[in-house]
Amino acid sequence: MNPTLHPSAHLDTWPREQLPPAAEWPELHLEPPYAYPPRLNAAVRLLDDAVSEGHGARTALVTADAAGGWTHTTYAELQADVDALAHVLVHDLALVPGNRVLLRGFNGRWMAVASLATLKAGLVAVTTMPLLRAKELGVIIERARCGTALCDARLADELRQAAGGSLAPEAIHCWGTAGADGLEARMRAHSAPFPACDTSSDDVCLIAFTSGTTGVPKGCMQFHRDVIAMCDGFSAQVLGLSAIDRCIGTPPLAFTFGLGGLLAFPLAARASTVLLERSTPESLLEAIAATDATVTFTAPTFYRHMALAIAKEPARFSTRSLRASVSAGEALPDATRTLWREATGVELTDGIGATEMIHIFIAAAGADVRPGAIGRAVPGYTVAILDDTLRPLARGEVGRLAVRGPTGCRYMNDARQRDYVRGGWNLTGDAATMDADGYVFFKARTDDLILSSGYNIGAPEVEAAVLLHPDVAECAVVGVPDADRGQAVKAFVVLKAGTTADDALARGIQEFVKATIAPYKYPRVVEFVAALPKTDTGKLQRFRLKETK
C-alpha cells in the first residue's frame, strides 16, 4: 500500500522501527508536485537552497527586541545560526542521525533555529507546547525516547522536573542563558558551514504529538518530504504565498499549524515571518501594523476578538497591509467570518487539517469561498464522505470525512492507527457533507454529534448560532444526558464585558437560537462561565466540558 522506503541515513534506527506496519498505512498520492527525490533534507530545501538562490540578504525572521523595536534576521544570518547549532548537536553533544531531540520554547528566533538545526543534522524533532507541564512532558519524553532537549531557559524548570529515563537532567541544553554552557556560547565556537545530513525523503524528521482535544495525545511521525509537501500544497496552491509576503500569527511552532504557517511556508516561498512569543488580540493587531504583515494565521476565536477590538477602537488598529487571513484549528462560524471581513475587508481562508496529515488539506481562498463551506480538497488530495462501512454517501448526506493525498497518518507505535486509517483512507474524525462541486461542509467532530430525540445535531452549528447573539463573546456546546431525549443540547456561554448573566438572558439566547436555526437544535440548558477550556493552540476542549456536565 505504501511505497518502498528509501535507505535511511539514520544510525539510530528506532524511529523507523516505530512506524506502523505497511498494511496499516494510508494510500499515498506522490505525483508532481509531490514527487520528491530519494534524498531530501527539509532544512536544506527551506534554508540552504534559499541562500544558494541569492536570497541571503533578504529578511527571513522578524522578532521583537528588548527595547520594544524589531530585529530582522536575514536568510544568511539564520543559516549561520542553524549551522552553528547543528555543529553543537553533532560535534559537542555527539548526537547521531535518528536521535530524538525534544524542543521547548516560545515562538522566536531560537525556536526557529533549533527546529531547522535538528532537521539539518538528521535528528528527529519532538516538539512540545510551552504550556505543557512536567507530567505531560514526561509522557512525551518516555514515548519518544528523547535523549536530548533544547529549551528556552525560562521554560526549563518543568522540563527538569520531567527529566528521567532516557532524558538525563544534564542533557537539557538551554538558550537564553549567559553561562558558558548555554547554547549561544557553544554556538560561538562554530563558524564553519555545516554539511547537511544526507537524509532520505522518507526519513522521520518530526514527531508531533496531537494537541489533546480528546485528552489522549498520539505521536504523529512525519517525514522530510511531508514538511515540503505542506508547502507545495496549501501554501503554494491555495494561499499563493510568495517572496513579498510576511506571515504572522499565534500558533506555536510546536503545533504543525504554526510550523507550517509561521516557519516552513514563508521560508519555502522565500518570504519572511514575524515570530511573537505571546499575543493578545490587541497586541497581534499592533504587530500586524508595525511589521506590515500580509498573512495571518490563528484560530477563529482569536479572529473574533480581533474584529471586536477593531470595532471598538477603529482608529487604533490598522490592517491595511493584510491580503489574506488563514483560520484553522476549530470550526469557523459564519458570524466570525463576517465580523473579520467587515472589520478588515479580508475574506477569511478557512481550512481543515490535522496533525496526522501535517497541515491543511481542505480550504478555499478569495473568490473560491462559498458561504458555510470549509472549501474543497487542496490540489493533490482526494476527499470523500463515507458511511461506517466506507461506502460513499450521496451528496448532502452527513458522513465521515475521509482523505487521501501526499501526506497521511503514521502514528508512532500506536494501535489507534487502525482506527484512523481504514481502506487506505485517513478518517479524520469529522462529520461533514459535500455538495456537487466538491465543497465540504463541516458538521461536527464525530464525537461531538449530539443525538437528541432522533435528531443529529452538530455542536459547531449551534455554537455558530449562539455567537450571533449580541451579548455573547464565546460559546461551546456539548450533549448532556437527558432522560427523555437521550441527550440534550447544552451551551456554555462567555458573555461580553458589562453584560449581566441571569435567567432572562439565558431564555433570550434560547429564543434567539430558535429563530436562527431549526428550533429542535436550540440549547435546552445554558450555563454562563468565565472562560472556556482550550488547548495551547486555541482549540476548544469540549471533552473537558463534558466531564463537568
- Domain parsing of the chain, residue ranges: 34-231+239-248, 278-445, 455-547
Strand residue runs (E) in 301-398 = 324-327, 348-353, 360-364, 376-377, 382-386
pLDDT of 506-521, one tens digit each? 999 999 999 888 788 8
Question: Is 90 exceeded by the pLDDT of residue 37?
Answer: yes
Helices 334-344 and 300-312 cross at an angle (nearest 10°) of 40
| CB hemisphere CA count around 431 (13 angstroms) | 18
Amino acid at 492: F
Amino acid at 442: F
3-state SS of 353-381? ECHHHCCEEEEECHHHCCCCCCEEECCCC
Question: Is 70 exceeded by the pLDDT of residue 189?
Answer: yes
Higher pLDDT, 481 or 227: 227
- Cβ–Cβ < 8 Å for 26, 404: yes
- Cα-based distances in Å from 73 to 44, 58, 98, 314: 18, 8, 29, 32
Instruction: Give dist(CA 457, CA 275) in Å, integer.
Output: 39
Asked if the domains 34-231+239-248 and 278-445 are classified in one and the same CATH topology, the answer is yes
User: 258: which residues sit within 8 A by CB, 6+ positions away?
Assistant: 107, 249, 250, 251, 252, 297, 537
Read off the pLDDT of each residue in 323-328 and give the average, rounded to a whole number: 95
Q: Within a 10 A sphere around the Cβ of 467, how many other Cβ atoms?
A: 20
Cα-based angle 436, 441, 446 (whole degrees, multiple of 5):
125
What's the confidence (pLDDT) of residue 1?
A: 44
What's the confidence (pLDDT) of residue 190?
A: 97
Question: Is 50 exceeded by the pLDDT of residue 290?
Answer: yes
Instruction: Give dist(CA 489, CA 90) in Å, integer.
Output: 55
Instruction: Give dist(CA 446, CA 192) in Å, integer.
Output: 52
What's the confidence (pLDDT) of residue 213?
A: 44
Average model confidence (pLDDT) across the chain: 92
Instruction: Give dist(CA 477, CA 72) in Å, integer.
Output: 43
Residue 154: its H or E element: none
pLDDT band of 3, cuts 50, 70, 90? low
pLDDT of 50-88, one tens digit each? 999 999 999 999 999 988 899 999 999 999 999 999 999
Beta-bridge partner residues of 148? 101
pLDDT of 295-318, one tens digit each? 999 988 889 999 999 999 999 999
Instruction: Give dist(CA 18, CA 398) in Å, integer.
Output: 35
Q: Within a 10 A sphere around the Cβ of 192, how many other Cβ atoms?
A: 8
Instruction: Give dist(CA 91, CA 127) in Å, integer.
Output: 22
pLDDT of 527-541, one tens digit each? 999 999 887 666 778
What's the confidence (pLDDT) of residue 335?
A: 86
Of the listed ranges 141-155, 181-195, 232-246, 451-465, the one predicted with least confidence:
451-465
How do beta strands 425-434 and 421-422 pair? antiparallel
Question: Is 50 exceeded by the pLDDT of residue 126?
Answer: yes
Q: Residue 272 — left, alpha, or beta (φ > 0 → left; ψ -120 to 50 → alpha)?
A: beta
Question: Is 80 exceeded by the pLDDT of residue 445?
Answer: no
What's the confidence (pLDDT) of residue 211?
A: 54
Question: Is 70 exceeded by the pLDDT of residue 8?
Answer: yes
What's the confidence (pLDDT) of residue 454?
A: 60
Instruction: Give dist(CA 285, CA 210) in Å, integer.
Output: 28
- Cβ–Cβ < 8 Å for 443, 400: no
- Cβ–Cβ < 8 Å for 190, 90: no
Architecture of domain 278-445: 3-Layer(aba) Sandwich (3.40)
pLDDT of 334-373, one tens digit each? 888 999 999 999 999 999 999 999 999 999 998 999 988 9
pLDDT band of 477, cuts 50, 70, 90? very high
Of the listed ranges 208-222, 318-332, 459-473, the one predicted with least confidence:
208-222
What's the confidence (pLDDT) of residue 459?
A: 84
The 3-state DSSP class for residue 106 equals: coil
Instruction: Give dist(CA 329, CA 257) in Å, integer.
Output: 8
Residue 529: its H or E element: none
Beta-bridge partner residues of 488? 480
What's the confidence (pLDDT) of residue 536?
A: 66
What's the confidence (pLDDT) of residue 520?
A: 80
CA terminus-to-terminus distance, the chain: 44
User: 502: which residues sit within 8 A by CB, 6+ positions away?
Assistant: none
How do beta strands 486-495 and 472-482 pair? antiparallel
The residue to which cell 467570518 is assigned: 337
Helices (H), 181-299: 183-187, 224-230, 256-259, 265-268, 281-291
Instruction: Give dist(CA 290, CA 302) in Å, integer.
Output: 19
C-alpha cell at 88: 553543537
What's the confidence (pLDDT) of residue 293?
A: 98
Architecture of domain 455-547: 2-Layer Sandwich (3.30)
Q: What is the DSSP letter of 411?
A: B
**Of 3.40.50.980, 3.30.300.30, 3.30.565.10, 3.10.129.10, which CATH number belongs to 34-231+239-248?**
3.40.50.980
Q: What is the DSSP letter of 496?
A: P
Amino acid at 87: H
- Cβ–Cβ < 8 Å for 444, 464: no
- Cβ–Cβ < 8 Å for 253, 115: yes
Read off the pLDDT of each residue in 166-173 and give the average, rounded to a whole number: 96
Question: Phi/psi at 172 (nearest 5 deg)?
Answer: -95, 120
Which one, of 126, 109, 120, 118, lies nearest residue 74 by Cα?
Answer: 109
3-state SS of 497-524? CCCCCCHHHHHHHHHHHHHHCCHHHCCC
C-alpha cell at 66: 528588548
